[in-house]
Amino acid sequence: MRRLTGLLTGAVILALFFTACQTKSADQKKAEFVEEGPWQVHPSATTINWTAYKTSDKVPVKGTFKADTSSCSAYATKTPGAQSALGAVDGVEFRIPVADIFSGNEERDGILKKFFFGLMAKTMDLKGSIHLDDEAKKSGHVSLTMNGETHDFPVTFAVAGDTISLNGTINLEQWNIVEAMNSLNEHCKLKHTGDDGVSKTWSVVDISAVTVVGKE
């Protein structure tokens, strides 16, 4: 369940990235893409998905972050004066409540909240910022704070009109969460045991995020 864990946190994290609310207001409109500012990220039009892995066969376990109410509890700060879609994302800061984690399995979500994130220091939220380092190579990094530590992980990005997507992989071990990982593995031992009789939780978690940017 290590991998599952990672994914969640990571994800967490880039989870990560903008805001985790999938609920869209009725009057929300898609932004028109023009090279004029100022632009900003729309938290309510942002989706963050994570994929963790279990067993020796690396079986994927997928999930997202989903707000429980019609109003987003996660948020992304504005990037004042952004003159382009990419400019609105570059440097944006985010906060993703751990309580919004959703894998489609209520028991699993409860274990992740209580016995994984719950054992970390100062991790009611996953916090961080996004940095688009090289527009030509479509590469950048996310600075993620979890378990009281802040570390970077690389991401790639793509732009399609007013929609920007990011993808990256985090290794949970980088945030020194041994206690939380051991706790998660213990509670998921049977479900993470494959045909070879080995219980394994991968420490890597894949993160993907899609957001829509528009004029203020």
DSSP letters for 74-137: -EE---TTB-SHHHHHTT-EEEEEGGGEE-S-HHHHHHIIIIIGGGSTT-SEEEEEEEEEETTT
Residue 119 neighbours by CB under 8 Å, 6+ apart: 177, 179, 180, 183
Average pLDDT over residues 112-124: 92
Rounded Cα distance, 59 and 49, in Å? 16
In the prediction, which pLDDT does 67 show? 55
CA distances from 10 to 119, 135, 169, 193, 194 (A): 15, 24, 8, 23, 24
Average pLDDT over residues 64-80: 60
In the prediction, which pLDDT does 87 show? 87
Domain count, the chain: 1
Range of the domain at 105: 2-215
Local confidence band at 44 (pLDDT 50, 70, 90 cut-offs): confident
Calculate the dihedral angle through the C-alpha atoms of 150, 154, 158, 159, rounding to the nearest 10 degrees. Answer: 40
Say which residue, 133 or 27, is predicted with more confidence. 133
In the prediction, which pLDDT does 188 show? 92
Cβ atoms of 31 and 42 closer than 8 Å: yes
Local confidence band at 57 (pLDDT 50, 70, 90 cut-offs): very high
Local confidence band at 66 (pLDDT 50, 70, 90 cut-offs): confident
**How many Cβ atoms sit within 10 Å of the Cβ of residue 58?**
12
CATH at 153: 2.40.128.110
pTM for the model stands at 0.77
